[in-house]
Amino acid sequence: MKWKDSRECCLCHLCGDDDAGFAEGRIADADSESARLGRLLPLSEGYWVHASCALWSSEVWEGPDPGLINAMEKARSRGAQLKCFGCGRHGATVGCNKSNCSFNYHFSCAKACGAVFTSSQQMFCASHKSSATDILARESCEFMKALMITPEKKTIAEQESADAAEADLCLRVGALVLHSLGTIEQHHDGFHSENYITPPGYVASRIFWSTVRPRVRTLYVLKIEQPSPKETLYSILPGDNPSGKITGNSVSQVYSTLMDRVRKVNANYFSQGDLLSKLPMLRRTRRKSFGLNGAQVRCC
């Protein structure tokens, strides 16, 4: 059965990451003129938003700390009340910068309707694009830095209510979903290293590049098991290739095997180690863990 990414952008309502420009059935290749929506970024309460949809929203701004996207909840709230002048659906947060123009679009719809985008993060609709200066040749690109939505401040009562509602739910850290923390067997070795706790029974899932189909993502299940008191076993199970399960006695071993398989299947498409390429396999980050290059639960 073919795996499909069901995560939906809360603004444009399209599903799945689009950071390499290969959303299946929507964008044919990396040189397409269609707007690239970017990868999906997690918001609170289970929402997701494409990077380009967020960054081009009128309210949104990127703070002095690179990669922190502010006022996203405000944009989402406003977009829920506005219909796109292109497709007619709600979630239109990209407004024309011309005074007295009421046109609002989804990011991709603005591009399709002939709008232009400027280096000062402004959009002008097709009727007012003559007012635009310093128009960008490429309004969407592969973001090479880590991006994170700044969480909205909540009152103590709101936070307690949210914590209570999420008490029985899986924990999500970025794009990593943590299903079980496992148990710490203090009388057995192997449940930790100098920097990380790796308890047996740990189960997480993560969407990442496929090892069998180029330029396509799939779901991976990550587990830590302890088949014997002196052995810790790490495993990665690909959702689109159950027979291709990766196992090993260390995080680095299974991680390296996975990355080698991804590189092999994407050899003709992705860059090999060039983090500044238009089509990188990895982004610049200091975090390397059993979360497939994402945030992880670590010891303090």
pTM: 0.67
What pLDDT shows up at residue 295? 36
Report the SS3 class of residue 149: strand
Report the SS3 class of residue 157: helix
Q: Is 60 exceeded by the pLDDT of residue 298?
A: no
| Total residues belonging to the chain | 300
What pLDDT shows up at residue 33? 57
Residue 299: pLDDT band (50, 70, 90) is very low
Segment 32-48 shows an average pLDDT of 80
CB neighbours of 2 closer than 8 A, spacing ≥ 6? 240
Fold of the domain spanning 170-265:
Double Stranded RNA Binding Domain (3.30.160)
- The two beta strands, 231-238 and 246-248, are antiparallel
Distances, alpha carbon 99 to alpha carbons 55, 104, 105, 116, 124, in Å? 21, 13, 16, 16, 10
- The CATH classification number of 40-149 equals 3.30.40.10
Do 40-149 and 170-265 share a fold?
no
Q: Is 70 exceeded by the pLDDT of residue 150?
A: yes
Distances, alpha carbon 235 to alpha carbons 112, 116, 200, 204, 226, in Å? 44, 47, 11, 11, 11
Regarding predicted confidence, which is higher, 98 or 45? 98
CB 187 within 8 A of CB 107: no
Q: Is 70 exceeded by the pLDDT of residue 105?
A: yes
Segment 80-90 shows an average pLDDT of 93
Q: Is 70 exceeded by the pLDDT of residue 74?
A: yes
Q: Is 50 exceeded by the pLDDT of residue 32?
A: no
Distances, alpha carbon 36 to alpha carbons 136, 151, 212, in Å? 14, 25, 24
251 sits in the region (left: phi over 0; alpha: psi -120 to 50; else beta) called alpha
Share of the chain above pLDDT 90, in %: 32
What pLDDT shows up at residue 228? 77
Domain boundaries, the chain: 40-149, 170-265
Segment 65-75 shows an average pLDDT of 87
Segment 222-226 shows an average pLDDT of 88
Segment 185-195 shows an average pLDDT of 63
